[in-house]
Structure 1
Amino acid sequence: MCDPSVVTVDSAGAEAEGVRRFWERLGVPGLIDVHTHFMPERVLNKVWAYFDGVDWAITYRHEEERRVALLREFGVRAFTSMLYPHKAGMAQWLNGWSRDFAGRTPDCLHTATFFPEPGAEAYVREAVEAGARVFKSHIQVGGYDPNDALIDGVWGLLAEAEVPVVIHCGSGPDPGKHTGPEPIARLLARHPRLRLVVAHMGMPEYAEFFALAERYEEVRLDTTMAFTDFSERIMPFPRGEARRLADLGDRVLLGSDFPNIPYTYVHQLESLERLGLGDDWMRRVLYGNAAGVFGLG
């Protein structure tokens, strides 16, 4: 029986046209999505199995080749392969896979990851030297303290190399032992030039992560799942923070969580637009800010 939440090949063409109309109206060359997931098939299948267990529909449950094609049809000019370990001994293997994926997928920003373990600094340095342009850190799934001494050298290396790290550190959808703004504030106090991109706008601690972005000029936020109908039901954005969000317009990057979202891709774009922050803000968020960070022109 077909899951009605899954976008079929027939309906994808119409959706792609809608996504393209959205950004064409704004006059940008396309979209840059800094939070998309590509990972080894057996790992992705485990992620999908987890979501199935919590009644979370995967809208774009397709083979890898089709998922890449969909992003291109949407007009996504650059995207990432956000992947992350949940235990020691995984990160270096994942980095090898993502290096190969970026090699065969030129519009994917070469993504890498790490975990607090002996040797982490060495394999992170290897990934940077191999051309990694963005890293993923998942504090909630990994269950680790970002201030663990085993990765202090990693943070220093990435700060010096000016390589951004998309970091899931907010306490949504479920708080972890080390989630929330306080561990990140301690991390940034030691590494103030670290290019952190706070995933999901830091939800539900929006205001606290906005404050960190205001204090540290290299801190940014991605829009992943924020402001959508789905997230507003469980972690609503405090409307009193809209002015601060507008003022942080040069620090906000488009993220979607594709393919693991329980709604269509265009809904994320529409959710940003209905904030009412203006077309210039939208142009920066959908393309300009990330183009500057990654030197994409």
Structure 2
Amino acid sequence: MNDHRTAPADPAPAPAPSEEADEVRRFWAGLGLPGLIDVHTHFMPERVLRKVWDYFDANGPLIGGLEWPITYRAEEAERTALLREFGVLAFTSMLYPHKPGMARWLNGWAAEFARRTPDCLHTATLYPEPGVEAYVREAVEAGARVFKSHVQVGAYDPADERLEQAWGLLAEARVPVVMHCGSGPAPGRHTGPEPVARLLARHPRLRLIVAHMGMPEYEEFLGLAERYDEVRLDTTMVFTDFSEGFMPFPGRALPRLAALGDRVLLGTDFPNIPYPYLHQLQALERLGLGEDWLRAVCHDNAAKLFSVA
């Protein structure tokens, strides 16, 4: 088994979009896949996204003060077109509130985005506030296929009692939830494995997808996936040269990751990444976990979970 930490220190400069698309398509075609499924991409109202980009430009504290250039800073239509050029068959519109009163509005936007973007998995979000169960139910009944919970930005405990009924509803409906709950790139008041462990103790059938594999508490979140059959992990930014530089994945945990190959899903954080999309794929390939593992992670696991043809 190769040790990914022997990789070059810096990713290659971003190629021209057409060249990168050719390379991405060559990657998945070489695995015999029909394309990729990316469970962690960001689309949100333009004025909200611009504020997010401004925060990255300012090297804000929630990104650990890191230099974080946005590689795919483009209009919405150009970004969706590029994912299609890459051969991404299905993607998400990860969006999240940072205060009360935002979630229902964001969910309305996301429902409309899904209607005009059929290859986007209809995404919704939530926040611990009065009425959360009602708007979560509305979103599920409207066809939401995945939820986003951002514990770090929202600064809330995922086991907050105000979310109890909403989590129960999502567990019963078997709708997956992508949750940023690890303490990277900077810790929050309620990040880390302990609050998630309390949540799962109450809702063991919740289809939780741990964003960024729980960076940097990788091994603790691997433990939760080993304990709970419905816990999954997404690869967002993990193993890339950027993340390895400050929160490396421990090589000793690679056998555990290999054993969980049926519950690891491709995620990238597109467009908010400081390197080419292709680099995430290359970072997974250089782990040396084999083509069967790559096929499962880059397509098959998500295709099964979301019933994508």
Asked whether the two chains share a fold, i.e. TM above 0.5, the reply is: yes
Task: State the shift of 1:7 in Å.
Answer: 5.8
Task: State the shift of 1:49 in Å.
Answer: 0.2
CA distance in 2, matches of 1:67, 1:100: 17
Task: State the shift of 1:6 in Å.
Answer: 9.4
- Structure 1 unaligned segments of length 5 or more: list them: none
CA distance in 1, matches of 2:13, 2:47: 20
1:224 aligns with 2:236: yes
| CA deviation map 1:235-287 (0-9, x unaligned) | 00000000000000000000000000000000000000111000000000000
Instruction: Give the match for residue 61 of structure 1.
Output: 73
Instruction: Give the match for residue 83 of structure 1.
Output: 95
1:293 aligns with 2:298: no
| CA deviation map 1:6-45 (0-9, x unaligned) | 968xx10010000000000000110000000000001000
1:192 aligns with 2:204: yes
CA distance in 2, matches of 1:153, 1:7: 45
Match for 1:28 among 20, 26, 33?
33
Higher relative contact order (CA 8 A, sep 6+): 2
Instruction: Give the match for residue 277 of structure 2.
Output: 265
| CA deviation map 1:76-104 (0-9, x unaligned) | 00000000000000000000000000000
Q: Secondary structure at the match of 2:91?
A: strand
Superposed, which structure 2 residues align to 1:94-105 within 5 Å?
A: 94-105=106-117
1:252 aligns with 2:257: no
Superposed, which structure 2 residues align to 1:203-218 within 5 Å?
A: 203-218=215-230
Instruction: Give the match for residue 109 of structure 1.
Output: 121
Instruction: Give the match for residue 162 of structure 2.
Output: 150
Q: How does the TM-score come out when normalised to structure 2?
A: 0.93
Instruction: Give the match for residue 253 of structure 2.
Output: 241
CA distance in 2, matches of 1:7, 1:238: 27
| CA deviation map 1:177-221 (0-9, x unaligned) | 100000000000000000000000101000000000000000000
Q: Is the Cα contact below 8 Å between 1:124 and 1:154 reproduced in 2?
A: yes
Instruction: Give the match for residue 12 of structure 1.
Output: 17
CA distance in 2, matches of 1:187, 1:30: 34
